[in-house]
Amino acid sequence: MIRLGSARDTRYESLMVENSEIYQSAVEQLERVAKILKLDGGLVESLKHPRKIIQVAVPVKMDDGSTKVFVGYRVQHNFARGPYKGGIRYHPEVSLDDVKALAMLMTWKCAVLNIPFGGAKGGVACPIKEFSEGEKERLTRRFTAMIADDIGPDKDIPAPDMYTDAQTMAWVMDTYSMLKGYMAQAVVTGKPVECGGSPGRTAATGFGVVVCALEAMKHNGMKLTGSTVAVQGFGNVGYHAARIIAGLGAKVVAVSDSKGGIYSADGLDLEAVAKHKEDTGTVQNLRGAKTISNEELLTTRCDVLLPCAMENQITGKNAANIKAAIMSEGANGPTTPDADVILDKKKIFVVPDILANAGGVTVSYYEWVQNQQRESWTEAEIRKKLEERMIGAFNDVLEVSKKHNVNMRSAAYVLAVGRVAAAMKKLGLFP
């Protein structure tokens, strides 16, 4: 019997929740930037809306023999600068509005880094933490089969996102390849290296977050050695960002995951934290560290704050209590517009998500190029290319910030939206 997870089933009730706050934030930011750029109203309306929305019902055979159906999405926002590019996430609270907003942010992210891609995003609303490996594979293969006509190496290239990883991308690639009749390595990025993935992809987003934080510190006359850092989110991005910045001489005093966080004024042993999380499922209750809440982590006194968890974490309610001098955003949309105003007044230097966390999509681009050209670059080559591109993009945004006398977030949007708008004007409308 096929059963749809719904509000009547308490285990799946969160699947039906919709939250448009992040989408409204993205639209508001676009409208503000459009005024600065003096864009035509029709062009702005086009940019507000995705070019295509795919919604599917994904039936999955569960380990207990039952079949459950989950809602999946793929949103393609804009392809004026190249094929669509964006991750696939599995999470109980995935909603269409969230995916629309994240697809739009991907368009701006690619444009800020001057990567020839447009933005897309995908997701399936499901309690993925309760899934076995087999259930996750069956979900992935079924979802891939249902959107196979809408993705492809020159059309739309998915990548890992929240609760998806290299193995997930291998399943997507294999399923797509079986359906098309040839091995299509370039259909996804973030794959295992054994399957055509690029060295350095796993740590790329965290590395980019750190590069941007370091450039912000240089710009503000701050020294890295001995500086204090708090990291919200100890998943892939947060872990690598914490490890890299600590390795360069900073002191990571606080980290957190979805259950809460820990703090140590003397600095945390990150490998011990990672081992503790692997053993217990959380960073909390580590011996020698003080257990704190996620809210306490965000308001920890530190030099650098790296929000690497989920969207809408820094809001009008807690922004006034942020004590960091610099914030480099590893998550997508972690700061709401009303919080931005407060942070600006406090003169906190914020490196926005569409710049700071673009390391992942940049190395994804390098992976796609290697697959298309049948080449293989070393991790050292990729790391060098990534660092140069991230620093170049940071300086591009900083220049726009000075030119228009706006903060870094507005400057990043001005640069990105301007590049996309210019491409759309040159292309014109068909027919």
Give the active site residues.
121
Give 248's DSSP letter: T
Using the CB atoms, write b or e for 321-333: b if 16+ within 10 Å. Answer: ebebbbbbbbbbb
For 310, the token pair is 């989920």
Closest CA to 244 of 208, 197, 282, 284: 208
Alpha-carbon distance values, 31 to 13, 21, 37, 336 (Å): 34, 15, 10, 15
Residue 106 identity (one-letter amino acid): M
Say how many Å lie between the first and final Cα of the chain, rounded. Answer: 47
8 A C-beta contact, residue 339 and residue 269: no
Closest CA to 310 of 321, 322, 298: 298
Give 317's DSSP letter: T
Alpha helical stretches, state H, 113-200: 133-147, 166-180
The label of the residue with tokens 């507005």 reads: 410
Residues in Cβ contact with 159 at an 8 Å cutoff, skipping those fewer than 6 apart: 85, 86, 87, 88, 169, 188, 189, 190, 360, 361, 364
Using DSSP, state whether 85 is helix, strand or coil: strand
Cβ-based burial of 149 (10 A; exposed 0-12, middle 13-18, buried ≥19)? exposed
For 185, the token pair is 């390595």
